[in-house]
């Protein structure tokens, strides 16, 4: 019985996604600005702690496509930014991403919360169309992407952001579950 409890605890820890771990990786990558609309997928565990972190500047926006332009302006000034949005906002901003990030080869880094994702399925197999089409759209646009669904995946964040800026290419980090506020 004790072995079962121990294995359940380590399984739970393997499946955890802590907002504090994501924030640490974002800061380690040199990001100083987080551009965001309100996001219920990441709000408590990620957006709220980001807003109160003195090492990061939160830029609140009304529409995701204006966030793409703000991130571009910051990149031109030698500043690193992260656009924190939901998959619905990603879909709204596709033309801005195409024109600015893809065609002009700019390091626009997105962190996309997959609102309503089925945890028992890959995003590409979701019952929700708005989640199912995110990765195929990113692939069609040639945007590198990584699924972040546990603390183990957080190790992908820093090198991916650094590579996006080094290669001047867009990046999408897909948040596969609601980050814990810890």
Summarised one tens digit per residue, pLDDT across range 163-172 is 999 999 999 9
Token reading at 95: 């033309």
Alpha carbon distance 150, 176 (integer Å): 8
**Residue 119: per-residue pLDDT:** 84
Distance CA 18, CA 12 (A): 12
Q: Record the pTM.
A: 0.90
The stretch 1-30 carries a mean pLDDT of 71
Is the model's pLDDT at 11 over the cut of 60? Answer: no
**102, 31, 99, 40: which is closest to 65 by C-alpha?**
99
Q: What percent of the chain has pLDDT over 90?
A: 77
All structural domains of the chain with their residue ranges: 17-175
DSSP-assigned letter for residue 177:
S
Residue 117: band (very low, low, confident or very high) from pLDDT cuts 50, 70, 90: confident
The dotted CATH code for 17-175 is: 3.40.50.970
Residue 78 has pLDDT above 80, yes or no: yes
The residues, any chain, with a CB within 8 Å of residue 175's CB and separated by 6 or more, are: 17, 22, 41, 42, 46, 111, 112, 113, 114, 148, 149
Residue with tokens 């926006």: 61
Select the more confidently predicted residue: 117 or 173.
173
What pLDDT shows up at residue 23?
A: 96
More confident residue, 5 or 96: 96
The span from the CA of 155 to the CA of 160, in Å, is 9
Spatial distance between the Cα atoms of 131 and 67, rounded to a whole number of angstroms: 21
Express each pLDDT in 47-56 by its tens digit. 889 989 999 9
């Amino acid at each position: 019985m004790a072995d079962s409890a121990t294995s359940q605890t380590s399984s739970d820890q393997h499946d955890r996604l802590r907002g504090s771990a994501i924030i640490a990786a974002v800061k380690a990558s040199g990001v100083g600005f987080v551009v965001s609309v309100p996001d219920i997928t990441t709000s408590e565990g990620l957006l709220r702690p980001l807003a109160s972190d003195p090492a990061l500047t939160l830029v609140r926006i009304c529409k995701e496509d204006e966030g793409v332009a703000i991130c571009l302006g910051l990149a031109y000034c030698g500043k690193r930014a992260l656009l924190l949005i939901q998959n619905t906002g990603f879909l709204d901003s596709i033309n801005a991403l195409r024109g600015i990030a893809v065609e002009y080869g700019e390091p626009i880094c997105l962190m996309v919360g997959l609102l309503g994702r089925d945890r028992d399925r890959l995003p590409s197999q979701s019952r929700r169309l708005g989640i199912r089409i995110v990765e195929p759209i990113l692939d069609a646009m040639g945007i590198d992407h990584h699924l972040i669904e546990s603390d183990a995946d957080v190790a992908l964040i820093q090198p991916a952001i650094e590579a996006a800026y080094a290669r001047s290419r867009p990046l999408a980090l897909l948040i596969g579950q609601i980050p814990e506020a810890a």
